[in-house]
Amino acid sequence: MKLIDFRKTDLTDGFWKKQVDVVSEVSVYNVYKRFEETGRFAALNCTWKKGDPYEPHIFWDSDIAKWIESVAFIIEKRPCPELEKVVDEVAVVMENNADEYGYFNSCYLVHDKPRWSDRTDHELYCAGHLVEAAVAYYVATGKRKLLDVMEKYLDYIYQVFVVDGSADFITPGHEEIELALIKLYDLTKNEKYLDLCSFFIDNRGNSTDKEYPGVAHKYSQSHLPVREQKTAEGHCVRACYLYTGMADLARLTGDKELSDACKAIFDDIIYRKMYITGGIGSAGRGEAFTIPYDLPDLTAYSESCAALSLAWFAQRMLLIENDSKYADTIEKVLYNNGLSSVSRDGKAFFYVNPLAIRTHLLERNTSQENTHENLTITQRKEVFDCSCCPPNITRFIASVADFLYTYDEDTVYVHQYMASETKTENFCISQKTSYPDNGKIEIRTGNIRNIAVRIPGWCEKYTLSVNGRNEDVEIINGYAYIKNLSSESVIMLDFDMTPFVVYPTSKIKDYISRAAVQRGPVVYCAEGADNNFPIMAFRLNTDTEFEEEYSDFYGTYTLTATGRIPLEKEELYSRRKEEMIDTKVRLIPYFGFANNGESDMEVFLYY
């Protein structure tokens, strides 16, 4: 199975075209400006010395790398000469500052710390992101400088880790380079990169790996050899980047043990450890997966980067086996935790994406005090000290069309619905749709024999016609298979977009007697700003009819539902149930929360 990469697709007017435009016209510039202002670009000069402002940090090269990758993705579709110039300058600076062996890490180069001495540092993580950036920039522009710098650097890494074994650790403390190496291998077909990737994956969690210093076993997925790992553990982003690399390697090598581990881990996430928004990571401490069904809303960590990494893991799984649970998960991330990461205007970002905000608990002196130390959760910020999320979101959205299709010899698989036109060497396919505003999708195919279209997991009613005839088609693993198409065909899909109520399992203690509202893939929330009562105490009528109103600001519909709120009493505890009065609640897409000032917010409403 292969991906149709986003470069072959033009998004046409529609929901995702607008998001990509915002990222391309605003976010990427804003991230640049903030990185410039906070010394991240200057750090690459490696001239920082003690006493200077903006001390280079071990993560910073990766921030720049993700920004470069965003630029590379954006210039595939629109020229941005001034951004391209910045990247060209970075390539020169890196070439000049890499040492004779090719080593480049701006933080290590200006500090005295011996390289490869601390597994908890992020040298290999930064290298991985720079490799991804170099690949993307070369593909976009044909310019080799950055790629040459990184290939030389990788030769050195290969020598240190594989040939000499001279580093103080065997596998990276923060995974990422594994999936980057696969991208470089896909580009170059140089087996050395596949070898290096296998080296890092195969050695992870082996007894020799564990004995190296600085290993927090589960935190960095080093508690077991990867093929024995069956549950998602530890720091979410590290975990899903590793799982993505594992799935890549399993696909390329046909390693069934490895793909089985990936399948088990993926199921562990979506059946036990995932928020309804596609978010992962219940605990701020360790930014980590915790135990099954431990998914608090108020203290959800649900880091932006973690949700994106889950989408990439799911995407790689689709290349191993076609099952709609993967594309459903991607869709969850796309329309919820992924998009909530960035403000409507594209300027500001969330690191943490809670599923409830109770402003009265945010002041000091409450039982929730310091839940998310040093992180804002009520308003997005333009930059963070640890600013991994902003450039990650820009590269994610800029390449969002990557999630649309996969194909094999005789079938094209349609995973997501976005107004778009796609041309490959052998076939073409387009979608006309206002999804998710409505559920109608017109898919036109050219030179495609068989097609499999995903019936979203949330959808209970739909129609499907092929060339004007309603078709009864076989559904396998959530996909409707339509075979033997004529060379030019039209498939019409119509998913019922009536909003609906979603009930979490009672195993999640925080959501008993609570329900969420979805319209298509979009999860809704209630904000205090829109409702003149304490939304926490609102009880949803689960048989409510939903009123829909289109909102330009959110780019899709807002909803109104009926319910009740309690009349206030003085007593804390009473033999009588509170009297309830009828009211309506306005619901907005979760991805749009916190765009109207600091406000209470609830995804799960009591009923």
In angstroms, give the least distance from the CB of 217 to a second copy: 11
In angstroms, give the least distance from the CB of 503 to a second copy: 5
In angstroms, give the least distance from the CB of 573 to a second copy: 5
> How far apart are alpha carbons 491 and 432 in whole angstroms?
11
Structure tokens, 46? 């490696």
Structure tokens, 196? 């290096």
378/424 with CB nearer a second copy: 378
In angstroms, give the least distance from the CB of 213 to a second copy: 21
Structure tokens, 159? 């020598």
32/275 with CB nearer a second copy: 275
Question: 293: which DSSP letter?
Answer: T
In angstroms, give the least distance from the CB of 162 to a second copy: 33
> How far apart are alpha carbons 571 and 567 in whole angstroms?
12
166/370 with CB nearer a second copy: 370
At residue 297, the 3 state secondary structure works out as coil
In angstroms, give the least distance from the CB of 509 to a second copy: 5
**Non-local CB neighbours of 62 within 8 Å, separated by 6+ positions:** 122, 125, 126, 128, 129, 130, 176, 388
- Residue 362's CB is within 10 A of a number of other CB atoms, namely 16
Structure tokens, 15? 């929901």
44/536 with CB nearer a second copy: 536
In angstroms, give the least distance from the CB of 283 to a second copy: 4
361/490 with CB nearer a second copy: 361
In angstroms, give the least distance from the CB of 565 to a second copy: 8
> How far apart are alpha carbons 367 and 603 in whole angstroms?
21
14/478 with CB nearer a second copy: 478
116/607 with CB nearer a second copy: 607
> How far apart are alpha carbons 434 and 14 in whole angstroms?
6
> How far apart are alpha carbons 548 and 576 in whole angstroms?
36
> How far apart are alpha carbons 279 and 412 in whole angstroms?
29
Q: What is the dihedral sign for C-alpha 97, 102, 106, 111?
A: negative
71 φ/ψ angles, rounded to the nearest 5 degrees: -60, -45
Dihedral-angle region of residue 333 (phi above 0 means left; psi in -120 to 50 means alpha; beta otherwise): alpha
106/277 with CB nearer a second copy: 277
Give the binding site for a second copy (CB under 8 A): 218, 270-272, 274, 276, 282-283, 285, 288, 290-291, 293-296, 299, 358, 360-361, 363, 365-369, 458, 460, 500-509, 512-514, 516, 534, 536-537, 539, 542, 565-566, 568-578, 606-607
